[in-house]
Structure 1
Amino acid sequence: MTFDLTASARRDAMISSGLWRDETLLDFFRRHVAAHPEKCAVIAHRADTGAETRLTYAELDAVSDRLAIGLARLGVQDGDVVSFQLPNWWQVPVLHLACLKLGAVSNPLMAIFRERELTFMLGLAAAQVLIVPARFRNVDHRAIALNVKAQLPSLAHVVVVDGAEDEAFDRLLVADVRDEERAALAARRLSPDAVIELLYTSGTTGEPKGVSHTSNTMLANLVPFADRLHLGAGDVIHMPSPMAHQLGFMYGLVLPLMLGATAVLQDIFVAETMARQITDEGATFTMGATPFLNDLADHCLATGTKTPTLRVFVSAGAPIPRPLVAKAREALGAAIISAWGMSENGAVTTARIEDPEDKVTGTDGCPLPGMEVRVVDPAGTVLEAGEEGQLQVRGCSNFVGYLKRPGLAQMDADGWFDTGDIARMDEDGYIRIAGRSKDIIIRGGENIPVVEVENLLFKHPAVSAVAIVGYPDQRLGERACAFVIPKAGRTLSFQEMVDYLKAQQMAVQYIPERLEVVEALPQTPSGKIQKFRLREMARQSA
């Protein structure tokens, strides 16, 4: 398959500056396997069965070898996309390592996606293999995957965790490895500029975009991130965020294996369970959107639970309210660190552990080494400190393009990427996100594809016009409200809207939480809907 490749001029600059190391995760991982093979690498808990899986570095290396050969027997080759729609189970890090060993591209998919989203994403990627759970959270993922497979000739194999017979995931963990297969795997060398991850993100067009990263772009983020937060091999990293989200993938899967640390994976977020896992496993670091921080803090305060080993909680995905920081510090006894980033570049800015209160609670941090940020007006003129404008970023961890959609990357000739966010920067170079020019809603750290939802809702026979906006929510950051003008003589209830979107196979998390039926939508003289006025209306009536 074809991705936009890394420009040679950018590569030369990154290599000469030392920001790209020209290494892959496998280079780090194999050093850790050699140095401490019996150290625990992954601890994964399953909420449905209560099962716990622990894998040492040596075991993780061996089982990912077996899986790589199993995938190769299915026909997976260098550059092919392997898609997996899995919770935070032990199979995910094994799959990513196996893909790296084959030179294949890991394509993690959120568990909330249904036939509509999966058909588009797998079709665009021309994925040959899709790996799903038999069931997760009362959803029959096997049935969904088989329905999608019937529509996509390129999707040759559906593999099922907890499946039976030929489709069972365990059958890929081949035991009868042939000498020539082992030799071929050992001889492979992954290029640091090869695309290793394809992650879909929603944008203003309503069409998911396939963000592509290489080892160089991803590790260029994680190395300085770990340095800034003083993370190393002795840390135990707890991850409640889905590894099918960039936050979970980069900081719950790749980061601990890069460091030689231990990863603790939580598949369904429950604050009580998270607190217990942190305590039982001695977790020192965790990361998630504000709902995770809020609920964990509330649980610990209500029950008197202590998390004495936890040093750092990085909250990203939405600005942290000041009262939440104070509450979380009291409850957890850990440093609460703000951060901002995107799937396209990972965490771009973070506060520092040593930062004063106003930087942690009043900003979204300053750039990591190797990244630059600037705030510009619509003409591209850099603005003074304190002025709001369009946020642009440039540097080592910027992605290398959108799959088959090179024209969608808003990047100028000098490498500045338009984030679509509105921000201001203080005199010290710390930014604060003020809003978004992109038409998306961030609900609990997850982007809601507003245009796609609007387009579907517009097709409802009772709908004449529709606009969806976000409104503030203390726990999730934002929720979605749909403003609808009904057709003459027709009505639309909230439940009818929900049932209709579900029938269109829309992910439940994308469905608006509120419906406001109105006679007109505020518009500019040119007819453009004034969403800022709708946001204010939604905020006032919330």
Structure 2
Amino acid sequence: MPMASPEIAAESLTLTVHDRYDGRSISLFRERGWWQGGSAAALLDRWAEATPTRRFVSDGTTELDYATLRERAHGLGASLLRRGVRPGDRVAMQLPNWAEFVIGYLAIARIGAVLVPIMTVYRQVEVAHVLRNSGAVAAITTGEFRGFDHAGMFRALQKEIPALSTLVIARGATQEGELAFDEACDTTTEQAELGPHPDPDLPHLIVYTSGTESTAKGCVHTWNTADFSARGLAHDVFRTRPEDVVFMPSPVAHATGLVVGILVPLTVGAETHLLDVWEPHEGLRRIERYRCTATATATPFVRMALDAARTAEHDLSSMRFWLCAGAPIPEALAIEFDEVFTGGVLMPLYGATEILAATCCHDGDPLDRRAGSDGTPALDGVRITLVGPDGDPVPTGEEGEICYWGPGAVLGYWREPERTAATIDAQGRHHTGDLGRLDDQGYLRVTGRLKDIIIRGGTNISVAEVEGYVSAHPAVAQVAVVAYPDERLGEKACAVVVPRPGERPTLEDLTSFLRGRGIATQKLPEKLLLVDELPMTATGKVQKFVLRDLARGD
């Protein structure tokens, strides 16, 4: 279906669905119930009235029921309004997985401001980019967390960014002119002061990409685009019930954690339990103590949890569903999970900040599908197509760029019309930059990144393919392959390897091993770098741009 022009004025504050979709698409989304309107604040009101004493959020130190959470969110919302925050203004929030994040999000949502979440691992350069690009007028943060002074960083940035006029500090000391989080929440509030619930088609959330490809982009979601994915995941994938407890160790300041850890339980009036620092043994203790039933994390979390389960006895029988994103699920991992989490199931999900949930496996999918694919379209309304360089669909079984069409896509990139126009095509499809194959049953397998192609002497080499070959070497614990420049051939492949303990493989070791397996010569790595760990984003993705600099010797 055609889309409206993606051109967005650089200073536009009125980005709406009409900048992204044509009228026919918008009508279809509403007719089918994919967009149902409402708001996060309306959902909170619903459960605070129906089940006021049911616990909504806990984090190991704080527990809040629905009624108390609403009272505190409304108080904070009123405090922000009194500081000059208005509907449509952006409010940044850099907090760990604490109850205060949930309060802050729902306060911002209630007054019609736009949440700009920032993960706690980001420091001055990344945070300054987000604040400047978003034009945030207020920020909610903490004092010292894991040895870093977040409040101090924001105070320094305030001097560089005058628009950032308000700081709210949670679990930390305030300075003159700043708001203490708890005091701001205790404000007496009248509903009239908070104003009407916000328009579900206006910006609700700007989540910045995690930085696998250098400069982070601000992905603009409305309530409707975020709610589509959250509601669909709650009902069609997790099959969430009010008695469920979602366990969330992934950062709620990023897409997976926010949607699954906050919006999925909010959809049905269930509960969420947050873990601020991932440590697998502590994670298992929390699952047992709070009787957690479902979660979503990057694949490495699963491996660490299973390793921890070998060394300590825990009752993990409550966990029935673990959604796994960011990397394929090896069959051995899925089998081991079924043995450790009795009655539980490990399911793959493919998504991105821009499109949230794209594909996943569902109840009834056999092990070979869960371990051998990234599933089928996650939700009713999502269409996945694979296209070639000419933009035409590729035949079944052939590799192409993964494109998403549906009600869960971003409106665009905040204040970046050129990047928006380069990503959304004339048919309204969002080009993900990821490569994949669809089989004759409609199951997708993500095979790599469009930019993760090494062009060696005119021959395209799939990085994911080479990584798969190298990872089979017994001395290799982890590997990432990137291109480095060559005067004669244009590009060559560099393998960046984390060796297994006690191992120091050489380039000759790897290439001899691969030759012995019949791998084509042009696909062999021609440079090897050994590292202690791969640079990762906070969401578990390898930062390939860092490795390219390393391979070039920058």
The TM-score normalised by the length of structure 2 is 0.78
Shift of the 153–87 alpha-carbon distance from structure 1 to 2, 3 Å rule, reads same
Matched, 1:431 2:444: yes
Matched, 1:2 2:13: yes
Query: How many Å apart are 1:108 and its aligned residue?
Result: 0.6
Q: How far apart in 1 are the matches of 2:406 and 2:135?
A: 30
- Find the counterpart in structure 2 of residue 215 from structure 1: 223
What one-letter code is carried by the residue in structure 1 that aligns with 2:72?
Answer: V
Shift of the 231–178 alpha-carbon distance from structure 1 to 2, 3 Å rule, reads closer
What one-letter code is carried by the residue in structure 1 that aligns with 2:55?
Answer: C
- Find the counterpart in structure 1 of residue 376 from structure 2: 366
Query: How many Å apart are 1:162 and its aligned residue?
Result: 2.5
Q: How far apart in 2 are the matches of 1:353 and 1:269?
A: 28
Q: How far apart in 1 are the matches of 2:101 and 2:54?
A: 19
Report SS of the residue matched to 1:173.
helix
State the Cα deviation string for residues 108-162 of structure 1 (Å, max 9, x = none).
1011111111111101111111222111111111221112111111111222222
Matched, 1:19 2:73: no
- Find the counterpart in structure 1 of residue 152 from structure 2: 143
Matched, 1:289 2:298: yes
What one-letter code is carried by the residue in structure 2 that aligns with 1:247?
Answer: T
State the Cα deviation string for residues 71-100 of structure 1 (Å, max 9, x = none).
111111100011011100111110111011
- Find the counterpart in structure 2 of residue 337 from structure 1: 347
Q: How far apart in 1 are the matches of 2:83 and 2:524?
A: 51
Q: How far apart in 2 are the matches of 1:331 and 1:539?
A: 36
- Find the counterpart in structure 2 of residue 71 from structure 1: 80
Query: How many Å apart are 1:203 and its aligned residue?
Result: 6.3
Q: How far apart in 2 are the matches of 1:145 and 1:394?
A: 38
Q: Percent identity, aligned pairs only?
A: 30
Contact 2:73–2:185, Cα closer than 8 Å, also in 1: no
Query: How many Å apart are 1:421 and its aligned residue?
Result: 0.5
Query: How many Å apart are 1:477 and its aligned residue?
Result: 10
What one-letter code is carried by the residue in structure 2 that aligns with 1:115?
Answer: Q
What one-letter code is carried by the residue in structure 2 that aligns with 1:412?
Answer: D
Query: How many Å apart are 1:228 and its aligned residue?
Result: 2.1
Shift of the 535–322 alpha-carbon distance from structure 1 to 2, 3 Å rule, reads farther
Match of 2:246 among 237, 251, 255: 237
Contact 2:41–2:197, Cα closer than 8 Å, also in 1: no
Q: How far apart in 1 are the matches of 2:524 and 2:51?
A: 57
Which runs of structure 2 are paired with 1:170-249 in the superposition (5 Å)? 170=181, 172-177=183-188, 179=190, 182-185=191-194, 187-202=195-210, 206-229=214-237, 230-249=239-258
Shift of the 322–540 alpha-carbon distance from structure 1 to 2, 3 Å rule, reads farther
Matched, 1:391 2:402: yes
Q: How far apart in 2 are the matches of 1:261 and 1:160?
A: 28
Q: Which structure 1 segments of 5+ residues have no match? A: 46-51, 441-467, 486-513, 518-531
Report SS of the residue matched to 2:371.
helix
- Find the counterpart in structure 2 of residue 299 from structure 1: 308
Q: How far apart in 2 are the matches of 1:66 and 1:406?
A: 36
- Find the counterpart in structure 2 of residue 417 from structure 1: 430
Shift of the 220–127 alpha-carbon distance from structure 1 to 2, 3 Å rule, reads same
Q: How far apart in 1 are the matches of 2:524 and 2:99?
A: 44
Shift of the 213–172 alpha-carbon distance from structure 1 to 2, 3 Å rule, reads farther
Q: How far apart in 1 are the matches of 2:246 and 2:479?
A: 29
Root mean square deviation, CA, Å: 2.9
Report SS of the residue matched to 2:431.
strand
Contact 2:248–2:257, Cα closer than 8 Å, also in 1: yes
Q: Which structure 2 segments of 5+ residues have no match? A: 1-11, 454-462, 486-503, 508-521, 533-554
Q: How far apart in 1 are the matches of 2:220 and 2:248?
A: 22
Q: How far apart in 2 are the matches of 1:89 and 1:306?
A: 24
What one-letter code is carried by the residue in structure 1 that aligns with 2:341?
Answer: L
Query: How many Å apart are 1:25 and its aligned residue?
Result: 2.1
Contact 1:29–1:258, Cα closer than 8 Å, also in 2: no
Which sits farther off after the overlay, 23-32 or 124-133?
Answer: 23-32
Query: How many Å apart are 1:407 and its aligned residue?
Result: 2.3
Match of 2:172 among 153, 163, 170: 163
Query: How many Å apart are 1:266 and its aligned residue?
Result: 0.3
What one-letter code is carried by the residue in structure 2 that aligns with 1:67?
Answer: L
Contact 1:299–1:305, Cα closer than 8 Å, also in 2: no
State the Cα deviation string for residues 374-423 of structure 1 (Å, max 9, x = none).
11211122122211111111001011111011221211121111110110
Contact 1:239–1:263, Cα closer than 8 Å, also in 2: yes
Report SS of the residue matched to 1:148.
helix
Q: How far apart in 1 are the matches of 2:478 and 2:87?
A: 41
- Find the counterpart in structure 2 of residue 29 from structure 1: 44
Extract structure 1 runs of 4+ deviating beyond 4 A: 202-205, 468-474, 476-485, 532-542
What one-letter code is carried by the residue in structure 2 that aligns with 1:146?
Answer: R
Query: How many Å apart are 1:204 and its aligned residue?
Result: 7.6
- Find the counterpart in structure 2 of residue 462 from structure 1: none
Q: How far apart in 2 are the matches of 1:6 and 1:360?
A: 34
- Find the counterpart in structure 2 of residue 95 from structure 1: 104
Q: How far apart in 1 are the matches of 2:151 and 2:525?
A: 39
What one-letter code is carried by the residue in structure 2 that aligns with 1:4?
Answer: L
Shift of the 534–130 alpha-carbon distance from structure 1 to 2, 3 Å rule, reads farther
Which runs of structure 2 are paired with 1:270-281 in the superposition (5 Å)? 270-281=279-290
Contact 2:295–2:321, Cα closer than 8 Å, also in 1: yes
What one-letter code is carried by the residue in structure 2 that aligns with 1:327?
Answer: E
- Find the counterpart in structure 1 of residue 417 from structure 2: 406
Contact 1:2–1:404, Cα closer than 8 Å, also in 2: no
The TM-score normalised by the length of structure 1 is 0.80
Match of 1:86 among 72, 95, 110: 95
Which sits farther off after the overlay, 207-216 or 156-165?
Answer: 156-165
